[in-house]
Structure 1
Amino acid sequence: MVAQTSGNLFGAIATSSPVSTFFRKASTVAVPSGVATTSPIQTNNFWGNLTLGDQTSYVYTHPYAVWMSTLSKFKGLAVSDQDASQRVFGSDNSEKAASYFYMPAGNKCVVLGSSDFEKGMSIKMANLAKLSAEVKLQSAKAGYLSCHLVQGMGFISGVYYDLIPEVHSGIGIKSVSGATSPRTGTNKYTIVLNDGRVWSMYVNFTDNQTCSFALKDNYHIIGSNSINNCSIQLARDKFSSYDSAAGCFPTAVTLKASVSGSTGTYSFNYTTQGSSNKGTSLIYALPHQIESFTSSTSSKKTAATLLDTVHGEMTGYLTNVFEMSESLPTSIGIDPWSSISGWSKPSYTTDEMSKIKAAALIDAAADVYTASNSDSMYFSGKVLDKYAYVLYVLYYVVKDESASKAFLKKMKTAIERFSNNKQTYPLCYETNWKGICSTGGMADGDTSLDYGNAFYNDHHFHYGYHIHAAALTAVVDKALGGSWYKDIKDWVNTMVRDVANPNESDTYFPVFRSFDWFIGHSFAHGITVYADGKDEESSSEDYNFSYAMKIWAQVIGDTNMEDRANLMLAISKRSIGTYMLYNQSNTVMPSKFIGNFVSGIKFENKIDHTTYFGTNVEYIHGIHMLPITPVSSFIRTPEFVKEEWETGPLANLVGSVDSGWKGILYLNSALYKPTLAYQFFISGFQDKWLDDGLTKTWALAYSAGVRQ
């Protein structure tokens, strides 16, 4: 496997076997034959569909969609790229915006194939890495086609080994014509499809080989003879920059990063094959990347642009390095924090302190051990975390040491049920794909139990709550002279490794299971096939994991882990603030959709303004809010929250909500108008308006703490 990270920032957390409390168990989902299993396999990654089921579902490399086509006469690696006019929008919803939109992914615009595949074709997956993978399509009687998948690649490139090349189109081919060759050893063709759209084809020869191409029929372009170690590259449209890059394509990516003070720099460093006039390939960049490019990368911009599936317009760059810079949230810790202009630090009046203390003493009387005794890692984590915030308030806000010590004991006992793996459904180390999974639903394949944790769904959501609860409890314990964090360190670190292992020398977990460094946020979906690609429903529980990792890193003194967490948060702010949270000035997302203010469920090929658990408006908006933490205001800016509340549906909706979502909506309003939130929680408040992951104690402490 090609190295994906380098530098101290990505040093391994640990390389030892997961602690023995996680017993070993194999998933009912087997790894398909032909998928290389020498290293842990990515479960939530962009190329995941090619390792699942019959391995024919779509993979989104952005801007292209690719898949293995097994249809007779169209066998090979199929490619789709669509225009804005082909977007499909759902009817307007109650928020007067399109209820969903997607790109039709199944159009076989072009297919890299071979006449030899008609005698039989099989797939192998090799060189599986976080940011790349190699697809090998093997002929039954001849050679094979090798295609490297890399996010942002400008060409779909295939290297032919002892095959007669053939390019198909399910749309139909109007014409294919030779064009001026950009360089010696490369032949260029222009393909016009029946829908009028144009594709460019480059054929790159080695060892003085030749092969001419002609239209076989309305759907196939056939090569005159077998070729070996020669490549064909296909790209949508006919930009001049394609000529500069033809002959060179990326095969792998190394992620590098460094931190200096509150500035983080990270880069994608592309390993390439072949050569070109420019000495580089062409890589398409997403809008959020372009905003953060350093000058060295910005200068490589071309006129090539293609529309992505759900991320707006991508722009081509002639470069082998994408370098980006971000401002890190280094000032955010465990105290209430706000990005409201003029706010500096939390402070409380005597009256506020009295109300917070009264609420804290009531919440501290809870039986945390029983309350957290759930068959769900998700819900138990939420309960533990909400009470960890109560412990924080008792010690740091109320400053009641006696009450803090008593409640600390309760918290440690409750958390130790999980660190000792004695919960209803214990966690195991799953040995097929390699990771820490719930055993709930694993034996009978029930993906609905605990949101499919056993199948690698939502690990960053679930474990983020547990990690933060343990971290905040350990903070108070250390302040009181304890060293309890040492007892739970291996357990917490193992959860961090499962979700965000930073280094391939840790051979027990894939690198960064959840976080997609190219897209800029995590994906929640695991090892079941989704035709629209990986997805995520809760942006807030995504960055809650990074925040939890940051606080835990402070507890154990791991500055590299803290830097990584800060960098992930900074990237998430930019990405989520572009593709999932919509200021009404957003020009990246479709104008028909930004009136929803939030994405709902974001797939790689579709955004659906709904949730997996219901269509209520408060659900759709609230799942992108909870939990409200010190880092919330960093991602959910006051400007966005104000628009969502006042221009969007929330101000008119909140009065009719009579559930725990009401408390979530009002605490979220503290991100732009803290007094509104604080008054709600002190005036006629009812406990039924508390979400199961929220206490009145934290709601008062946060909303009062960020008031100016």
Structure 2
Amino acid sequence: MSKTNSTPAETTGDIFTAISTTQPSTTLYSRLASKVPIPSSVTASGAIQTNNFWGNVTLGDQNSYIYTHPYVVWKSTVTDYFGLAVSHQDASKRVYGENNDHGAPSYFYSAAGNMSLVLGSSDFDNDCSISLTNLKKMSIDITLSSSNAGSLTASVLQGMGMVSAVYNDLIPEIHSNIGIASVSGDTAPKAGIDKYKIVLNDGSTWLMYVTLTDNQTCSFALKDSNHIIGSNSINGCYIQVCCGDFSDYDTAAGCYPTACTLSANVDGSVGTYAFNYTTVGSGTTPLIYALPHHVDSFTSTTSGKKSNASLNDTVHGTMVGYLTNIFEMSEQLPTSLNMAPWSAISGFTTPSYSTDELNAIRAAATLDIANDVASLSNLNSMYYSGKILDKFAYVLYVLYYVLADEDSTKSFLSSMKTAMERFTGNTQIYPLCYETNWGGICSTGGMSTGDSSVDFGNAYYNDHHFHYGYHLHAAAIISKIDQIVGDGTWVTKNKDWINNLVRDVANPNEADTYFPVFRNFDFFIGHSFAHGITIYADGKDEESSSEDYNFAYAMKIWAQVIGDTNMENRANLMLAISSRSIGTYMLYQTNNTSMISQYIGNYVSGIKFENKIAHTTYFGTNEEYIHGIHMLPITPASSLIRSPTFVKEEWENFLKNIIDNVTDGWKGVLMLNVALYDPATAYNFFNGSSYSSNYLDDGMTKTWSLTYCAGVNN
């Protein structure tokens, strides 16, 4: 027999209510400013996004790429091409690496820097300046200003079907470094809107719509093979450009989105979320491009708004345009998921254990609880210390809920509290601080020296969801067990510290001005981005899909412990969206029709950027690294994302052929992953005579490995 834990009921309501709006403790957290400043061109109050799709434009010279999908935009500083550059590259122009051991390309990317068109002006010169306003999670306004004339402003959003710029007191000039084969006037789609068809030297066709206000006029003509010039200055008029010659662009012409808000509601185990677009212009319906995982989850509210426009994206397959100002999507939420082992294997119900299995688990636990957790977790890394704390938190779970050993539970709970309180008291080797430039809880490691390599760049907002997810889950288990066998006060004493980690990564509401809204999770892309405040030309990236959803799972368990239904609903929604998105763009079953067909033979993405996917890791090219970093840690949430079908295909078609050559901790990671489709084989490995503790990753214990494998082997 084993104890079980209950699952709270789901409710409806506004799930994006703020966790808190108070500033993090000035006593606990020192105030330090990042070595990376906020540019003077930024107008914003409160915390600023660090891992967002438009992040590159807030860094350095502010002229690196923003990936809006399917377009790429950036400030061009090239002489004769000043302005807002726009690029779209067809799939035929992708660059592929040499085939690897999978027989698939080792990487692919799009050439982002080709300026298909540039929304510019003959008034722009070397002194063309940039300013940023209305910095939101899902949009930003970029203004380029002439030193002696006017300016243009573009609202930049993911999925925007047209790149639109409002011209104020400028003579418009459209550039192309690809070269313009022809430009011709076309039939006006609506009164007050002129239409032009532009054919570039690469064979691509672009449409340009010019909306003229207040009885203004402006005609456009080819100036030379790289420039289209307007006849005169315009004010309050806007120009829209879009790739492809699709008739439904005419329907959307004159209307464009300026902002997007996220909404969601939960009804039982169904979560419905929406992107609500604020629009301006002469029409009421913009064209918004949807990613494949959006299309697969659209409700009838949106699915019927499909247009005839479609474009290849950089790394997400084909995007389809929809004539709508709302994307509404529905997901089945993992409401039954809790602290106990869980599996998507057909026939699984609840974990159960035989006497022999309990004896094996008890023997492993006896050895694991003999460890000095406080000493082992006394590390100069939030990441590695978090892994240590959390692996022993799973042992604490097993002691009470599986082995029903209350005496050992109480004793080990005390050890776990001692270890954890070094961090909740902020007395670890590199304490946390509140970073004041961007707004967030950061490690002080590397903060004063400007060394972005310390603790994987935590001080630069790298990997916060990876690091804090482990601490969050460990704290949730300690709190839960303390409520049962302790005095029940630990959660109250440490709730603010733990909630600050949640706020840092997944603050749900702008009312909380101390942290950006959802620093890591990108609701449009459907997974998180790990990369913070340094420029990457290929955009933001993520290496470990599993440590991504591990944070959402940890947030869910913490929410269950403190009874925060809204937080649990948000976590459930993030998990459901992650399952769909990661299962499309990062984990590839052989029947995947959304991703680039040449690449799915790799089974896993490796490092996924916004413009590139590379089958590698930041720490080495071994296949066990590349596959294993998308597995660890194996938790009750793993099977939700890593389906039994996918795990079986990945294992039987590739990993089983390399496992005998793996002799370190990655062997344990790969073998525990086998439990997601064949738990009996995995259990026999960890309980077999050939097992060695050398096979355990530093975030694994034999206790949890046996408990998970046996628990899901019904």
Tell me which interval the TM-score lies in, with the shorter structure as reference length: over 0.9
Task: Indicate the residue corresponding to 2:535 in structure 1.
Answer: 529
The corresponding residue for 2:103 is: 96
Aligned to 2:499: 493
> For residue 301 of structure 1, what is the aligned residue in structure 2?
306
- 1:274 aligned onto 2:281: yes
Letter in 1 for 2:18: A
Residue of structure 2 in register with 1:519 after alignment: 525
- 3-state SS of 1:645 partner: helix
1:622 alignment counterpart: 628
How far apart are 1:119 and its partner, in Å?
Answer: 5.9
Q: Which of 175, 178, 190 is the equivalent residue of 1:171?
A: 178
Q: 1:260 aligns with which of 255, 267, 274?
A: 267
Take 1:608 and 1:28, find their aligned partners in 2: how far apart are those partners?
29
Equivalent pair of 2:470/2:554 in contact (CA under 8 Å): yes
Whole-Å separation in 1 of the counterparts to 2:484 and 2:656: 41
Contact 2:353 2:711 in 1 (8 A): yes
Distance in 1 (alpha carbons) for counterparts of 2:126 and 2:424: 55
Please tell me the residue identity of whatever aligns with 1:569. L
Query: Residue 544 of structure 1 aligns with which residue?
Result: 550
Aligned to 2:456: 451
* Cα deviation digits, residues 478-533 of structure 1 (max 9, x gap): 12152211111000000000000000000100000000000000000000000000
**Aligned amino acid, residue 91 of structure 1:** E
Tell me what 1:316 maps to: 321
> SS in structure 2 opposite 1:118?
coil
Aligned pairs for 1:260-659 within 5 A: 260-276=267-283, 279-481=284-486, 482-647=488-653, 649-659=654-664
**2:5 aligned partner:** none
**8 Å CA contact 1:124, 1:136 repeated in 2:** yes
1:37-116 alignment, distance < 5 Å:
37-116=44-123
In 2, the alpha carbon distance for the partners of 1:591 and 1:237 equals 23
* Deviations 1:590-643 (CA, angstroms, capped at 9, x unpaired): 121101000000000000000000000000000000000001001100000000
Partner deviation per Cα, 1:377-434 (whole Å, 9 max, x = no partner)? 0000000000000000011101110000000000011110000100000010000000
Contact 1:524-1:536 within 8 A present in 2 as well: yes
Separation of aligned partners in 2, 1:117 and 1:340: 61
Distance 1:417 1:172 in 2: 62
> Quick check: 2:128–2:146 contact (8 Å CA) kept in 1?
yes
- Counterpart CA distance in 1 for 2:656 and 2:613 is 24
Structure 2 match to 1:221: 228
SS at match of 1:550: helix
The CA distance in 2 between the partners of 1:281 and 1:477, in whole Å, is: 53
Contact 1:120–1:141 (CA under 8 A) maintained in structure 2: no
Deviates more, 1:377-386 or 1:113-122: 113-122
- C-alpha separation between the residues in 2 aligned to 1:413 and 1:243? 65
- Point out where structure 2 has 5 or more consecutive residues left out of the alignment: 1-11
1:150 corresponds to which of 151, 157, 161: 157
SS of 2:671's equivalent in the other structure is helix
Structure 1 SS opposite 2:329: strand
8 Å Cα contact 2:77/2:126 also seen in 1: no
Opposite residue 490 of structure 1, the aligned amino acid is D
Displacement of 1:373 in angstroms is 0.3
Residue identity opposite 1:475 in structure 2: K
Q: 1:161 aligns with which of 156, 161, 168?
A: 168
What does residue 3 of structure 1 align with?
Answer: none
Q: Deviations over 1:83-102 (max 9, x none)?
A: 11101110001121110000
Match of 2:124, SS state, is helix
Alpha-carbon contact 1:119-1:141 (below 8 Å) kept: no
Q: Which residue of 2 aligns with 1:30?
A: 37
Q: CA deviation at 1:443?
A: 1.1
**Deviation readout 1:651-697 (Å, 9 max, x if unpaired):** 01111100000000000000000011000001121111000000000
Tell me, which stretches of 5 or more residues in structure 1 are unaligned?
1-5
1:167 maps to a residue whose letter is I
Distance across 2 between alignment mates of 1:105 and 1:601: 18
**Residue 538 (structure 1) shift:** 0.2
> Is 1:198–2:205 an aligned residue pair?
yes
State the Cα distance separating 1:8 from its structure 2 match.
2.1
Q: TM-score when scaled to structure 1?
A: 0.98
| CA-CA distance at 1:197 after TM superposition | 1.0
Question: Hey, what's the Cα distance between the residues in 2 that align with 1:454 and 1:94?
Answer: 36
Asked if structure 1 preserves the Cα contact closer than 8 Å seen for 2:130 and 2:145, the reply is yes
Write the letter of the residue equivalent to 1:437: C
Task: Give the letter for the 2:650 counterpart.
Answer: E
CA contact (8 A) 1:123 1:135 kept: yes
The TM-score normalised by the length of structure 2 is: 0.97
Aligned to 1:15: 21
Q: In the TM superposition, what whole-angstrom CA distance separates every residue of 1:548-570 from its partner, at most 9, and x where no partner exists? A: 00000011110000000000000
Q: Distance in 2 between matches of 1:706 and 1:451?
A: 34
What is the CA–CA distance in structure 2 between the aligned matches of 1:121 and 1:99, rounded to whole Å?
40
Q: Distance in 2 between matches of 1:150 and 1:495?
A: 28
Mapped partners of 1:40, 1:676: distance in 2:
49
Q: Percent identity?
A: 66
Matching residue's letter, 1:543:
Y
Q: Deviations over 1:299-358 (max 9, x none)?
A: 000110000000000000000000000000000100000010011110001000000001
Structure 2 residue identity aligned to 1:447: S
- In the TM superposition, structure 1's runs of 4+ consecutive aligned residues that sit over 3 Å from their partners are none
Given that 1:7 and 1:256 are in contact with CA atoms closer than 8 Å, whether structure 2 keeps it comes out as no
Q: Distance in 1 between matches of 2:51 and 2:44?
A: 16
Structure 2 counterpart of 1:357, which letter?
A: R
In structure 2, the partner of 1:136 is 143
CA distance in 2, matches of 1:424, 1:195: 56
Is 1:660 aligned to 2:668, yes or no? Answer: no
Distance 1:680 1:196 in 2: 57
2:237 matches 1:237? no
Q: Which letter maps to 1:274?
A: G
Deviations 1:72-125 (A, max 9, x none): 100001011011110111000112111000011010000000011126200001
Q: 8 Å contact 1:63–1:314 — kept in the other structure?
A: yes
The separation in 2 between residues aligned to 1:431 and 1:195, in whole angstroms, is: 47
Give SS of 2:15's match.
helix
Asked if structure 2 preserves the Cα contact closer than 8 Å seen for 1:119 and 1:139, the reply is no
SS across alignment from 2:370: coil
Q: Report if the CA contact (8 A) 2:44-2:134 is conserved.
A: no
Distance 1:575 1:328 in 2: 14
Q: Output the aligned Cα RMSD.
A: 0.9
Equivalent pairs, count:
700
Output the CA distance in 1 between the equivalents of 2:461 and 2:13.
Answer: 28
Measured in 1, the distance between the counterparts of 2:316 and 2:566 equals 30
Query: What is the SS of the residue equivalent to 1:412?
Result: helix
Distance 1:402 1:99 in 2: 52
Give the 3-state SS of the residue equivalent to 2:410 in structure 1: helix
Deviation at 1:23, TM superposition (A): 1.1
Instruction: Output the CA distance in 2 between the equivalents of 1:390 and 1:491.
Output: 23
Structure 1 position 37, deviation (Å): 2.9
